Amino acid sequence: MNIVEVKNLSKKYNSNLAVDNISFDVKEGEIFGLLGPNGAGKSTTISMLACLLEPTSGDAFIDEKSVRKDPMGVKKVIGLIPQDIALYPTLSAKENLHFWGKMYGLSGSVIKKRSREILEIVGLSERAKDRIDTYSGGMKRRINIAAGLIHRPKLIMLDEPTVGIDPQTRINILETVINLNKMGMTIIYTSHYMEEVEMLCNRIAIMNEGKIIAMGTKDELRMLVGGKDIIRIDATDIHPRTSETLDTIDDVDKIKIIKNQIEILSDYGRRVLSSVISKLNELDVKIDSVKVQEPDLESVFIHLTGKSLRE
Amino acid sequence: MKLINIALKDVKIVFRDKMALLILLAMPFILMTIMGMALGGLFSKGPELSKIDVAVVNYDDGKVSEDFIEEILKGDELSKLLNVKEMDKKRAMNLVRIGDISSVIIIPSDFTSQIMKNKSTEMKVYGDPGQEIRASIVRSITNAYTNKVSSVMVGVRTGWESLTKLGKKTNLTEIARYIPFMINEMIEKDVEDLVKIEEENTSQKESLSSMQYYAAGMSTMFVLFSAMFGADSILKERDDKTLARLLSSPMKKHSVLGGKLLGIFIIGILQFTAYITATKLIFNVNWGRSIIGLVLLPISTVLATTGMTIFFASIAKTRNAVGGISQIFIQSMSALGGSMFPTSLLPPWLRFFSNFTINKWSMDGFLSLMSGAGVISISKSIIVLLAIALVFFILGIWRFSYE
Q: Which residues of chain B does A102 touch, with a Cβ-Cβ cutoff of 8 Å?
A: 1-2, 5
The sheet that has B103-107: what strands, in order across it? B82-86, B52-58, B103-107, B124-127
**Alpha-carbon span A32 to A24, nearest angstrom:** 10
Ranges of each domain in chain A = 2-222, 228-294
Kindly state whether B246 is in contact with chain A, defined as any CB-CB distance less than 8 angstroms: yes
Q: Confidence band (pLDDT; 50, 70, 90) for B218?
A: very high
pLDDT of residue B382: 94
pLDDT at B50: 62
* Interior angle at CA A295, CA A290 and CA A299, nearest 5: 65
Is residue A165 within 8 Å of residue A133, measured between CB atoms?
Answer: no
d(CA A198, CA A222): 11
Sheet holding A2-13, edge to edge: A16-27, A2-13, A57-62, A65-66
Mean pLDDT of B19-23: 85
B13 touches chain A (CB under 8 A): yes
Q: Does A248 touch chain B (CB under 8 A)?
A: no
Query: Can you give the pLDDT of all 311 residues of chain A as single tens digits?
Result: 899 999 999 999 888 899 999 999 999 999 999 998 888 899 999 999 999 999 999 999 999 999 999 999 999 999 999 888 999 999 999 999 999 999 999 999 999 999 999 998 888 889 999 999 999 888 898 899 999 989 989 999 999 888 878 888 888 889 889 988 998 899 999 998 888 888 899 999 999 999 999 899 988 888 877 777 888 899 988 888 899 999 999 888 888 888 888 988 888 888 889 899 999 999 999 999 998 887 777 778 877 777 766 65
Cβ contact A104–B246 (<8 Å) = no
**Which residues does chain B have within 8 Å of residue A82's beta carbon, measured at their own beta carbons?**
241, 244-245
Q: Is A51 in contact with B5 (Cβ distance < 8 A)?
A: no
Check B244 against A52: CB less than 8 A apart.
Answer: yes
| Sequence-distant (≥ 6) Cβ neighbours of residue B113 within 8 angstroms | B60, B62
- Please give the CATH architecture assigned to the domain spanning A228-294: 2-Layer Sandwich (3.30)
If one looks up domain A2-222 in CATH, what number appears? 3.40.50.300
String of DSSP letters for B316-347 = -SSHHHHHHHHHHHHHHHHHHHTSSS-GGGS-
Contact: B2, A50; criterion CB under 8 Å: no
pLDDT at position B42 over 70 = no
What are B226-275's pLDDT values in tens digits? 888 889 999 999 888 899 899 999 988 888 999 999 999 999 999 999 99
- Prediction ipTM score: 0.78
Q: Mean pLDDT over residues B317-346, rounded? A: 87
- CB distance B2–A86 less than 8 Å? no
Is the Cβ pair A147, B245 closer than 8 Å? yes
What whole-number percentage of chain B has pLDDT above 70?
A: 91
Tell me the chain A residues in contact with residue B251 when contact means C-beta distances shorter than 8 Å. Answer: 75, 103
User: B4: which chain A residues are within 8 Å (Cβ-Cβ)?
Assistant: none
pLDDT at B46: 46
Q: What is the CA radius of gyration of chain A?
A: 23
Q: Across all residues in chain B, what is the average pLDDT?
A: 84
Residue of A nearest to B14 (CA): A90
Answer yes or no: do A100 and B240 touch at CB < 8 A.
no
Contact A105 B250 (CB under 8 A): yes
Across the strands, what pairs with B104? Answer: B55, B126
Residue B123 CA to residue B149 CA, distance in Å, equals 12
pLDDT for residue B25: 83
Q: Does B347 touch chain A (CB under 8 A)?
A: no
Give me the total of CB pairs closer than 8 Å, taking one residue from chain A and one from chain B.
66
